[in-house]
Amino acid sequence: MPASLPDASGKSSNIGLPMFVLMLNLFIALLGQGMVIPILPEYLKQFDAAGTAAGYLVAAFGAAQFLFSPIGGQLSDRLGRKKLIIAGLLFTVVSDYLFAVGHTLPLLYAARFIGGIGLGLMVPSVMAYVADSTTPATRAKGMGYLGAAMNLGMVLGPGLGGLIAEFGIRVPYYCAAGLSLLAAGLSLLLRETLTPERRAAAGVHKRQPIARQVADSFRTPYFRYLLLVFVMTFGLVNYETVYALFVEQKYGFDARSISIVITLGAVIGIVCQIWLLDRAVRRFGEIRLIRLSLILTAAALVLMLIRFNLVYLLLISAIFFAFNSFLRPTVGTLIANAAGDRQGYAAGLNTTYMSLGSIVGPLLAGWLFDVQINLPYVLGAVILLAALALTGGRQAKPAAEGGAGHE
């Protein structure tokens, strides 16, 4: 269980149980998403559907998360973190259950859209909860724990889903719904971190349409960090989308070898987030660590183009996952530090830009792979290196309490 972290006031506060519950929430949510991946092609055969339908299902989830993350962040500032976390998990329960019992494609699309709403409400609230409960000195550690929980869910999900599917093609979806319901129940143990005073201060800000929020994000002091969120998500999803196809064609590896590489690489990333991130931030500082991570993840993408053997591929994949694992929580910490009393709003924008990267990355990677198999990794490396320009200048200062979080 994570160690105690100071609360927002700077006083020592043992939030080991809350942090464990938050990590479990994200782990279960991502585990549920991952469980359905390996059986989706077989599942869609029941509807005489294939790749196109799978693409629409992924797009429906990403679009909902994109649309509702800013809304979830703002509601989190007004209503409290705990309510939005539980609401998001309940949406996930409904989504997984509808997917399990659905017998028409439109219902499956609706189920995935509802699931995207759930993550759009929950993830910003979880991030805001951690920002409320930590100081700038300990925030990177808290964000690192959340990132590790998400990565672990993504890694274990596909394998677990394939095993459970032996009992029936719809069973993994029922299991995912049950796990989300369990997480919602455990979330009742959380204490609310948003004080009535801060809730009242957030209430003076009108809830804005999604387009206005994205436009307003350009004027926040942490806009360049939001762009970094987009870039690093694009780089990760760009890497993962065509990885299996790339390795199969370039190395001739079978599914088992590919699975080993992905799993070991992701486990290394988890280890780095839990045990090395806090030390790296203290050693280099956030900005220098981001620069180093951008350079080395870009280098890993370029080195992927050189064909050697399985050991070489494991090493390069480990480098990519390790330094990519530093990026998300470190950038998230910079955003939280600059957000002042609008942690939910900032976390919602953070998740929105993640969603944009998750939508653009797969579309571009798939198209470029069909043109030439090396292009997705070449483009990914170029974009990651270009993102170094976003790390120049002064670090954004914390917004004043009660402010809008704008410059």
For residue 370, tell me if it sits in a domain: yes
pLDDT at 37: 61
Identify whether residues 108 and 57 lie together within a single domain.
Answer: yes
For residue 322, tell me if it sits in a domain: yes
Identify whether residues 251 and 132 lie together within a single domain.
Answer: no
pLDDT at 298: 94
Total number of domains in the chain: 2
> What tens digit of pLDDT does each residue of 190-222 get?
888 887 777 666 555 555 666 777 788 888 888
For residue 202, tell me if it sits in a domain: no
Identify whether residues 185 and 285 lie together within a single domain.
Answer: no
pLDDT at 288: 92
Identify whether residues 225 and 279 lie together within a single domain.
Answer: yes
Q: At 103, which CATH number?
A: 1.20.1250.20
> What tens digit of pLDDT does each residue of 287-332 get?
999 999 999 999 999 998 988 888 888 888 888 888 888 888 888 8
Pick the closest to residue 220 from 375, 70, 27, 357 (CA basis): 70
- Contacts of 135 by beta carbon, 8 Å cutoff, 6+ apart: 6, 8, 10
Identify whether residues 268 and 157 lie together within a single domain.
Answer: no
Claim: this prediction has a pTM higher than 0.75 = no
> For the range 185-189, what are the long-range contacts, defined as Cβ-Cβ under 8 Å and sequence gap of 24 or more?
186/21, 186/24, 186/25, 187/21, 187/25, 187/82, 187/85, 187/86, 187/89, 188/86, 189/17, 189/18, 189/21
Radius of gyration of the chain (CA): 20
Amino acid at 336: A
pLDDT at 10: 43
- Domain boundary at 171, 196, 221, which? 196
- Domain boundary at 166, 196, 226, which? 196
Identify whether residues 266 and 388 lie together within a single domain.
Answer: yes
Identify whether residues 307 and 362 lie together within a single domain.
Answer: yes
- Using alpha carbons, list the distances in angstroms from residue 134 to 20, 44, 139, 314, 343: 14, 44, 5, 35, 12
For residue 399, tell me if it sits in a domain: no
For residue 180, tell me if it sits in a domain: yes
Q: For residue 59, what are the domain limits?
A: 15-196
DSSP 161-222: HHHHGGG-TTHHHHHHHHHHHHHHHHHTTPPP-S-HHHHHHHHTSPP--HHHHHHHHTTSTT
- Domain boundary at 149, 169, 196, which? 196
For residue 142, tell me if it sits in a domain: yes
pLDDT at 147: 75
Count CB neighbours of 308 within 10 A: 11
Identify whether residues 175 and 245 lie together within a single domain.
Answer: no
For residue 138, tell me if it sits in a domain: yes
pLDDT at 69: 82
Identify whether residues 227 and 170 lie together within a single domain.
Answer: no
pLDDT at 397: 58
Identify whether residues 229 and 308 lie together within a single domain.
Answer: yes
3-state secondary structure of 337: helix
Which pair of tokens denotes residue 141?
């550690």
Residues of the chain with pLDDT under 50: 1-15, 400-407
Identify whether residues 337 and 364 lie together within a single domain.
Answer: yes
Matching residue, tokens 């009242």:
200
Identify whether residues 119 and 81 lie together within a single domain.
Answer: yes
